[in-house]
Structure 1
Amino acid sequence: MNFRVSYLASTLLIALLLSACSSTSVQQINPTETIVNQSEDAAAEDRFNQNLNQLITQIAQTQGIPQASLESGFSDAKTIPSIRKLVLPPSGNFKRNWVAYRNRFIEPVRLKAGKAFWEQNQAFLSKTEQESGVPAEVIVSIIGIETIYGRQTGNFRVKDVLSTLAFNYPDTPNKASREQLFKDQLQELILMCWTEGGGSLPAKNSKQGLSQTRFNACLNQNSSYAGAIGLPQFMPSSIRSFAVDGDGDGHVDLKKSPKDAIASVANFMMRHGWQPGMPIYFPVQEAAISEARLLADGEPQLKYTIQELIKNGILTNEQGDLQSGGVELQSKALIVDLPYPDKDGNDQVRYVVGLNNFLTIVQYNRSYFYAQSVAEFAEALGYKNQSIATITTSKAQSETKSVGPSKSKSKKSANKKKQKQT
């Protein structure tokens, strides 16, 4: 994802790397140009090497990994000056543009690739949806927006990216917090590679080592300019926490295994609170745009009940699932603002009501633009953005919701699986 294109707020920028992935790169850079040592000066390079060596020593002492193996793995680590430019926030006169962002990702090439990916993995996607409750269209949408199903997974060595951002982050107000986040990701990468290698899922406290060759290969794998790996663009910490073996070969490979990528995306969404059978968003009533504007504060929090939004005219009883009772009146939502300039350069904003599942997508990439694009990409693939649940007026029947056969199984399975994992 491109966090240069869209921000929710400055607080979201700080929290970005706590999500699954960090960036879908839209700027292509020749990797042969970036892996060459282009340090701004010798002093900066010395500081880089010193800080990296300190971290290596610390990890060797605390994790029981031979320091010689770590030093060998990072002997050719380089700073990448272009990375520092890519993570800079936009300039002061930058205007967020929802329309341009949407058109970049919801377009014929990705949609065609999405349909092909779905056809190739239809049986496994159906199985995953039944077990997790996460719709196949949403899973396919995320992988398509992230990398066009593996076509764009990044051209940088992940150890160079994370080392650069951990020890040579550009001078920004949040420099210290950002460097700490990337130091943590660098340690997660080391533990991941030492335990399993090649982007596999490790046990967090395992000290089992692998051959130096495999360890180095894992450190040298390609990533985005922020260190995200594979088809779903998971950061190392998310690989260790949420990646799963979808194809059953005993090894998690997010770069080459579509089944591993599909299962891992579903697991991430489920573990972050996806509600099976519930919609992602509702359109705001045109007559209530001014009311929606007052409630849109940019904070990713579910603040307003559906009942309050109906009272304010932002939603209606007849809209979406409210009439059938699939979405409870006391469930909470947020107002999502999607700004863009019109053809004359005037500022415009589209508003939608984001539900719990919208916020779950935001946990994957902390951008309203991203979450809404995922929802609309999924709709373009056939996703019905509505509740599958209905409630009758009968007291006896109201206690047992009538759910379609495939979704009923998926919801029970997802709830059961989530309880085990949490």
Structure 2
Amino acid sequence: MTFMRLDFSLLRSLASKCAACVLLAAGPAHTAPVVASPSTPAAASTVIVPYADRPEVQQWAHDMAKRQHLEPTWVMSQLAQARFQPKVAKFIMPAPSGTAKNWTNYRARFIDATRIRQGVQWWNAQQDWLTQAETRWGVPASVIVAIVGVETIYGRQTGTFRILDALTTLGFDFPSGRSDRRMFFRDELAAYLQWCHREGRDPTGVLGSYAGAIGLPQFMPSSILKYAVDFNGDGHIDLMQQPADVIGSVAHYLAQFGWQPNMPTHYTVRPPTDAQQLAELMGPDIQPTFTVAQMQARGALVDQEGQHHAGPLAFVSLQNGNDAPLYLAATQNFYTITRYNWSAYYAMAVIELARELRQARAMAAAPQQRPRTPDR
């Protein structure tokens, strides 16, 4: 999930992003989907059409190469190595309709002992880079570490699909049954080939999520081009092997999308009892829209700390199945985290993991109390 990160109901969690994008790829090598021969019934005879032999792929490659100032023969030679991945087409489909959202269950997927323990270890190991990033962009180290933890558990789950296959599959064989995103993924494929060419990478050698997200922070290729940084100054942007680049890129991304240093992410809020007022507050969704006074005028009561907040707030509801929702008055910083993955549930998971990481580090750093010697 950043990229212009992709929402698809918590894709990496969704992810997500992400953290969930680790399923194995499968499919015939160097082939596009099985296409029925025009002269025989589909059940009787099929032919395999390589991507490089498909006219729409050839035309796209020619046009893209011209726009990006790439050699057309190089672009086509890469696409000739792309293979259709049926699992990619399957995994990109949304969850079945009627699936109830449950914040408690969602939280449990990402706030666990493994992520907390490994997050503290990763934070300690990368302390210098995290401090530099926080000083430069104002994004707390805990938030950066939490995003990497939610996305890939610090590199344990970065995905096993060839990015070339995933993006070509979704760019030219996006499944029916949901809104058509072929153009989006063709743009990501173009960005991916441009990045590989610029970095001298083999486009067939990069692995990632089924949606094309790359590295520890699960950036989409267009986000690598726009927001990733060479934070360690070695001349390359490496989100797979260089923690410095991962840290700098996440911090830069959030700063570009409006992170405000020292601003809380949210306050607790008591919802109005009037259904119409509640609907008005929830209308803008996660977009900060209301002042504290405007929220209160609609029957919502923001906590004491939030009473002093000067900027706009969003009224956010996190569903809990059959239990009462969790309501938040979310700030610009909460909204900024949703630009990484367009979900309030994702943002709150990052915020909660960041809090747990801070507490775990503080406990580990606190001097151990020596046991009292019994009086003699």
Smaller-chain TM-score range? 0.7 to 0.9
1:147 correspondence with 2:152? yes
Gaps of 5+ in 2: 38-46, 360-376
Structure 1 equivalent of residue 198 of structure 2: 195
Letter in 2 for 1:194: H
Q: Deviations over 1:115-167 (max 9, x none)?
A: 00100011221121111111111000101100111111110010110000011
TM-score, normalised on structure 1?
0.74
Structure 2 equivalent of residue 236 of structure 1: 221
Structure 2 equivalent of residue 224 of structure 1: 209
Determine helix, strand or coil for the equivalent of 2:320: strand
Aligned residues of 2:284 and 2:314 also touching (Cα < 8 A): no
Out of 23, 39, 60, the position equivalent to 2:33 is: 39
Alignment of 1:10-409 (within 5 A): 13=8, 23-26=17-20, 28-31=22-25, 33-34=26-27, 36=29, 37=31, 39-42=33-36, 46=49, 48=51, 49-175=54-180, 178-198=181-201, 217-285=202-270, 292=278, 295-297=281-283, 299-312=285-298, 314-316=300-302, 319-320=304-305, 322=307, 325=308, 327-328=309-310, 331-341=311-321, 346=322, 348-382=324-358
Residue 336 of structure 1, CA deviation: 1.1
Aligned residues of 2:10 and 2:346 also touching (Cα < 8 A): no
Determine helix, strand or coil for the equivalent of 1:332: coil
Q: Deviations over 1:299-357 (max 9, x none)?
A: 332221122224445334x62254xx4x21xx21111111122xxxx364221111100
CA distance change for structure 1 residues 46 and 227 in 2, over 3 Å: closer, same or farther?
same
Q: CA RMSD in A?
A: 2.8
* Greater CA drift, 287-296 or 372-381: 287-296
Aligned residues of 1:52 and 1:163 also touching (Cα < 8 A): no
Letter in 2 for 1:275: Q
Distance in 2 between residues matched to 1:63 and 1:239, nearest whole Å = 16
Give the share of equivalent positions with the same residue, in percent.
35
CA distance change for structure 1 residues 42 and 28 in 2, over 3 Å: closer, same or farther?
farther
Distance in 1 between residues matched to 2:50 and 2:233, nearest whole Å = 44
Determine helix, strand or coil for the equivalent of 1:249: coil
The list of structure 1 runs, each at least 4 consecutive aligned residues, that deviate by more than 4 angstroms after superposition, is 12-17, 34-38, 42-45, 286-294
Letter in 1 for 2:33: S
Distance in 1 between residues matched to 2:50 and 2:136, nearest whole Å = 49
* Greater CA drift, 300-309 or 79-88: 300-309
CA distance change for structure 1 residues 283 and 197 in 2, over 3 Å: closer, same or farther?
farther
CA distance change for structure 1 residues 35 and 252 in 2, over 3 Å: closer, same or farther?
farther
Distance in 2 between residues matched to 1:105 and 1:87, nearest whole Å = 21
Residue 289 of structure 1, CA deviation: 9.4
Letter in 2 for 1:364: Y
CA distance change for structure 1 residues 149 and 173 in 2, over 3 Å: closer, same or farther?
closer
CA distance change for structure 1 residues 289 and 267 in 2, over 3 Å: closer, same or farther?
farther
TM-score, normalised on structure 2?
0.82
